Chains A and B, each alone.
Chain A
Amino acid sequence: MLRVALVGCGKAAENHIREIRKLSGASLVAVCDIEPLMAEQLAVRYRIQKHFSDMDAMLETERPDVVHIATPPQSHLPLAVKALDAGCHVLVEKPLTLCYGDSQKLVAHAVSRERKLTIGYNYYFDPIARTMRKLFAEGVLGRPVHIESFLGYDLSGSFGACVFANSEHWVHRLPGKLVHNVIDHLLNKVAEFMSDQVTVQARAWQRATHRHPTCSMPDELRLMLFDAGTSAFATFTSHAQPVAHFLNVYGTKNTARLDFEAGTIALSSTAALPGALGRLSRTFGQGFQCLREGSKNVIRFVRSEYYALAGLNFLINAFYDSIRQDAPVPVPYQDILKVAAMSEAVFAQLRENRSLVA
């Protein structure tokens, strides 16, 4: 049984707790937060035996095998290093650190300590993302040509309200501010298709209709990415409704359309029939795929597998398996670092074109 501890008892922590609790080979032994009341509330609500406000004390007394870090990103590097030094394997929420150099250091530190490290890329392991990878592996999609990654966000929700109400909120202190907190979800779905030699073009701005007197951080982001063989568009928007989250993967044979909100994946294929018949067959083909995906999701619903964090559950389980079996980690380090490098290039460009004011 793996002994698991969690550091950071804010909004992200509950997702981890719920998914850890579903796994039979792991036991959540303690939670920790620099604010004792936050640690206490999580322990009370989830009936966790121990709670701490001092991470050193928790590591010393509980000796966990795995530590999940769900604190603001500014503290990820020192806390992850501390946990690795205590002999723990570490799962860090995204973004891994504040910059590419720090991410490199952290990965190198995990390797040198012979501990495993992973990152909270839940959508990367969403059931439809895994199906898409299977389609690539089976050759159904061919080779990737172009990717469209789209992430919508509702700033009128509780997180947005917190950020705008408090000018000292940690989001304002991130190098990439609000977009820094979400960019991993855009780029981790792109990184696996691209080489290390990526050219980035980035634009970000605060939409005029949403200007806030005390806050000028961008809430819209558009990216174009190119390497020798593949291109990608990435969109982060805080204003388009309904809030959408999708990925279109255009291959040399077929195109996969992944809708993360609905949990569906559909293939667009070249019509087998000519002319108008071909167009008709495509329409009915799309309808059939909707029906098939809907039916699959009904089955997943009945099995209690149809929920937004199914990918996080898979990730945590795969990470724990990699620890038990000393197998490769679920997210390759090179992909984590590729995302960190892309993010850094984006923020550098946004600073250069004055979209981001320090």
Chain B
Amino acid sequence: MTVLVTGSTGFLGAAVIERLLARGAKRIRCLVRPSSDQARLAALASAYSAGRVEVTIGNLQSAAGIERALIGVDTVYHLAGAMRGPPAGIFLDTVVASKRLLDVIASHPVKRFVLVSSLSVYGLADVPVDRLIDETTGLESHPERRDAYSYAKLRQELVVQEHAARAGFQLMILRPGTLYGPGGPAFSPRVGLTVPGWLLHLGGNNVLPLSHVSNCAEAVVLAGTSNRLEDGAYNVVDDDLPTAAEYVRRFKREVGRVRSIRCPFFATMLLSQWAERWHVSSRGQIPRVLTPYCTASLWRGHRFDNRKLRRAGWTQVVSTRDGLTRAFDDLRSRSQAATRLPAVTRTDGLG
């Protein structure tokens, strides 16, 4: 039994490979772009018995590479996508790349397809904050008003669902929150926005929908292997989560000093209205960084429900307490190596 993993050299990808190996997967094939750094993958492969991880060099824009990677595969873990860059590039590398993969799957059938999506696909701008966001919550109906990443993840889900209905494979969609863990980013947009040396703290007392990278990887592997999961979508967030304010306080205590300005939600909305007006009146000269719609979607304080995933048998492999301690230890050692604020990598969309 061979499984295929796309995006295996990324932050989550490496953790998924590790969980697959730990759970005894016999043959894991990784579709890796020629320019990707394979060092982490090689280290993982060598830590377990030889021959279980194989690398196929290719690209999701090329059918030939995908065909090679799909030979003998019955489960696909599709993690690849783009988080940064021009909107068209994010869309191409997320949605069109998925379509290319699925087009080849049509002639190389698989039994199960696990898609790693995002919580940002939900349309939350008008949803009351006291409603727990579960998998029955409606998807975004105004993708054009959201950031490019959220739009791409939403459209990707729809493309995969269309193909699943046609091809008849089992489809598990996982919607992780903000991934964190060793090697991960310091601050996600849900905590706030960073400008060099400063954190504009917008998350306030919102509970952060964190998912430790190992816990998320466990959910991904469970979705690909367990018979307890039904087709459909699953939120992936951990339990016992801190608020954004608690996260920032702990960061300052355990990692190092960061200059932060806390901005309450009403002030963020005012700032967003002003920023959007300036974007329009300057005819695009000022980038569209903040909009009221994205602010209402991201920083209003929605909470996400993980009960469906827990009912399917998922449990955290790393407790939130231990996960945060390890993540802050890692961030501290990285910040000691660098003199400035750890670089921020977006782990979910701005909306």
Contacts and interface: CB of A to CB of B under 8 A. Distances in A.
B337 interface: no
Given A164-B35, A212-B35, A18 B284 contact: yes
B96 A37 contact: yes
A6 to B, nearest CB: 12
B325 to A, nearest CB: 33
Contacts of A301: 285
Contact of B34 (A11, A35, A47, A165): A165
A37 B91 contact: yes
A35 B88 contact: no
A164 to B, nearest CB: 4
Contacts of B170: none
B59 A42 contact: no
B166 interface: no
Interface in A162-203: 162, 164-169
A165 B36 contact: yes
B57 to A, nearest CB: 8
Given A37-B155, A38-B96, A161 B88 contact: no
A158 B89 contact: yes
A164 B85 CA distance: 15
A166 B33 CA distance: 7
B34 A37 contact: no
Contacts of A159: 89
Contact of A165 (B35, B86, B144): B35
Contact of B87 (A37, A45, A166): A45
A14 B93 CA distance: 17
A213 B34 contact: yes
A9 interface: yes
Interface in B72-112: 84-89, 91-93, 95-96, 99
Contacts of A278: none
A46 B88 CA distance: 12
B61 interface: yes
Given A14-B86, A158-B89, A164 B283 contact: no
Contacts of A46: 144
Interface size on B, as a range, is 20 to 34
A47 B144 CA distance: 8
A13 B86 CA distance: 11
Contacts of B304: none
Contacts of A11: 86, 88-89
A52 to B, nearest CB: 16
Interface string B142-159: 011000100110010001
Residue among A42, A159, A165, A212 with the most chain B CB within 10 A? A165
Contacts of A304: 281-283, 285
Contacts of B89: 11, 158-159, 162
Contacts of B283: 22, 304
A202 B285 CA distance: 37
Interface in A95-128: none
B234 to A, nearest CB: 25
Contact of A306 (B84, B88, B285): B285
B345 interface: no
Interface of B: 33-36, 57, 59, 61-62, 84-89, 91-93, 95-96, 99, 143-144, 148, 151-152, 155, 159, 281-285
Given A162-B93, A164-B35, A167-B34, 19 more contacts: A10-B88, A11-B86, A13-B88, A14-B87, A41-B87, A41-B88, A41-B91, A41-B152, A44-B151, A45-B87, A45-B143, A45-B148, A46-B144, A158-B89, A161-B35, A168-B59, A168-B61, A169-B61, A215-B34
29 contacts: A10-B88, A10-B92, A14-B86, A22-B283, A37-B155, A38-B91, A41-B88, A41-B91, A44-B151, A45-B87, A45-B144, A157-B85, A158-B85, A158-B89, A161-B35, A161-B85, A162-B93, A164-B35, A165-B34, A165-B35, A166-B34, A166-B61, A168-B59, A168-B61, A212-B34, A213-B34, A304-B283, A304-B285, A306-B285
